Amino acid sequence: MTSSIIRMSKGPILENRIVIDDIVAGYGPVQVLRGVSVHVEPGETVVLLGSNGNGKSTLINAIMGIVRPTAGSIILERDGQRIDLIGKAPEEIVGLGIAMVPEGRRLFPALTVEENLMLGAYRKDARAKITENLEFCLEAFPALRERYKQIAGNMSGGEQQMIAFARALMSAPSILLIDEPSVGLAPILVNRMIAKIAELKTHRNLTILMAEQNFNQAIKIADRGYIIVHGEIAFEGRNTEELKNNELIKQYYLGV
Amino acid sequence: MFSGELFFNAIVSGLLIGGFYAAVALGLSITFGCLEIVNIAHPTFVIFGSYVTYILNVNFGLDPILAGLVFVPAFFVLGMFLYRFYYASFERAGQESLNGLAFFFGLMFTVEVLLILVYGVDYRLVSAPYIGQTWHLGYIDFPLRQTVPFVVGTAMTIGVYLFLSKTFLGRAIKAVSQDRLALQLMGADPIRVKQYAMGIAIATAAVAGSLLIILGPVEPSQGRLYIGRVFAMVVLGGMGSVSGTLIAALLIGVIESFVATFYGPSWAPAVSFGLLFITLALRPQGMFGRA
């Protein structure tokens, strides 16, 4: 086991990678992940594919410290430091520059758009960049500027998904975990959301790990991906071509 | 019976008392409204604050308001410890609803009995140059005994309102019971957030205690008079809305004052509950609550 070293970096963050090695995790007696190894390299967009109930969300929750793995390791490499994420609380992991857009958005429904976004910038490193990040988010999602003082819970699903993204970006992350961004959105909105993720990624120099059921959408922005079946990595595609040509994908998604 | 003089004096007197009510309800608006902790011992901390003010005033001649400011840090820390204890004993195990309620009920009686044992059941009062003075504006009276608590209570409520809307910690306090995990994903530790919130709530209760003993003499079990009233104000104002609580407090103050002036003081306590019944029937989210 690597000892956990946390160093506050003052300068620009050079390299961030997540290396997940052979983790076993679940909820109580139910084992969901059975020895999963995944790595995300700096600047990559990696997708986790697979239908519901195969362990995509559990994997993302394990990285965030929401689910605690019973075996294996999750290491964040940050500017040459190796930080063990297992055993850390979600708020500590957010403090290391990893943000999550949770499934179902999980906004603070009784608060305004402004208050939701400002809460995104709660962590210390984010507060210094608040003006710059807010301007970026409102530029990226102009609808939020118009509805800045409105109650988040009263807004449409698409707008709420925008708030969830903007809120995650307000924490000035270097790594963004996205759990099922297409759930509950009309197809046209899913299209826009995926295009927006690609745009945000290039502007913010983000490293992204995204869980998504919608293969055709996910593949548009993926550099590479994994297919999870029954809590195990069934296939690792080193590029989108490999994913498209995979038998599992053909079987599950493309109906071939 | 009805006259302009009586009418306007009833309004002013009601507003003045309402400002004090806001100070009492403010802390509960945080604990009950934002944290969803049913702290029925809240008014007990008000009385506790009154007695500390009394001690500082009688022994050191400290002005009651100044005394209130002096002990704010102590009550803030007390509130933080209270939350830690509550969390470790009840909330962590998910037993807050019944056992937690019993805990605050017990706490209320314990503090009350302790005060009776030490100071007896006699009324205690403080002295300050402004108590007993009255300003006049035309035929409207501004007794300073009520005006000072109004000014301090309203200012404190507005201060906390601004704190909750403009600071990172304040926004986290508003968010914590809406979605605990989402708050963690913002990088905030919910336990610490609640701990600070409870500290602020108890500190404001103690300051309200200083105001209470300026308004009139205080005895240990007086807090019970306020329990129903302050819960009514928090619910009327819309759970967790400090601005709503302030308006509800002023409104109840004014209506109580009217009822007391034109129908007799014995009807005044019925006001808050009457208003609560009507509001819950017509607008369950409170008069100013967000649906």
A100 to chain B, any CB pair closer than 8 A? The answer is yes
- For residue A14, pLDDT beyond 50: yes
Contact (CB<8Å) B185/A106: yes
What's the CATH code of the domain at B15? 1.10.3470
**Residue B156, domain member (yes or no):** yes
- Read off the pLDDT band of A89 (50, 70, 90): very high
**Residue B287, domain member (yes or no):** no
B174 to chain A, any CB pair closer than 8 A? The answer is yes
* Cβ-nearest to B179 among A64, A89, A108: A108
**Residue B247, domain member (yes or no):** yes
A130 to chain B, any CB pair closer than 8 A? The answer is no
Summarize pLDDT for B21-68 with one digit per residue, the tens: 999 999 999 999 999 999 999 999 999 999 999 999 999 999 999 999
- Which residue of chain A is at minimal alpha-carbon distance from B167? A118
Q: How buried is residue B34: exposed, middle or buried, by Cβ count under 10 Å (0-12/13-18/19+)?
A: buried
HEC sequence for chain A: CCCCCCCCCCCCCCCEEEEEEEEEEEECCEEEEEEEEEEECCCCEEEEECCCCCCHHHHHHHHHCCCCCCEEEEEEEECCEEEECCCCCHHHHHHCCEEEECCCCCCCCCCEHHHHHHHHCCCHHHHCCHHHHHHHHHHHCHHHHHCCCCEHHHCCHHHHHHHHHHHHHHCCCCEEEEECCCCCCCHHHHHHHHHHHHHHHHHHCCEEEEEECCHHHHHHHCCEEEEEECCEEEEEECCHHHHHCCHHHHHHHHCC
- For residue A8, pLDDT beyond 50: no
Q: Which residues of chain B does A151 touch, with a Cβ-Cβ cutoff of 8 Å?
A: 290
CATH of domain A43-53+90-254: 3.40.50.300
pLDDT of A6 reads 43
* Cβ-nearest to B186 among A66, A89, A171: A171
Q: How many CB pairs under 8 A join A and B?
A: 73
**Residue B288, domain member (yes or no):** no
Summarize pLDDT for A113-122 with one digit per residue, the tens: 999 999 999 9
**Residue B120, domain member (yes or no):** yes
pLDDT of B290 reads 56
Give the residue-averaged pLDDT of A231-251.
88
Give the residue-averaged pLDDT of A163-183.
94
Estimate to the nearest angstrom the gap between the alpha carbon of A105 and the chain centroid: 12
Closest CA to B150 of B11, B18, B12: B18
Query: Letter for the amino acid at B249?
Result: A
- Read off the pLDDT band of B268 (50, 70, 90): confident
Summarize pLDDT for A134-156 with one digit per residue, the tens: 999 999 899 999 999 999 999 99
A110 to chain B, any CB pair closer than 8 A? The answer is yes
Summarize pLDDT for A58-67 with one digit per residue, the tens: 999 999 999 9
Contact (CB<8Å) A115/B171: yes
Domain that residue B175 falls in? 4-282
Q: Where are the domains of chain A?
A: 43-53+90-254
Contact A4, A83 (CB under 8 A): yes
Number of independent structural domains in chain B: 1
**Residue B17, domain member (yes or no):** yes
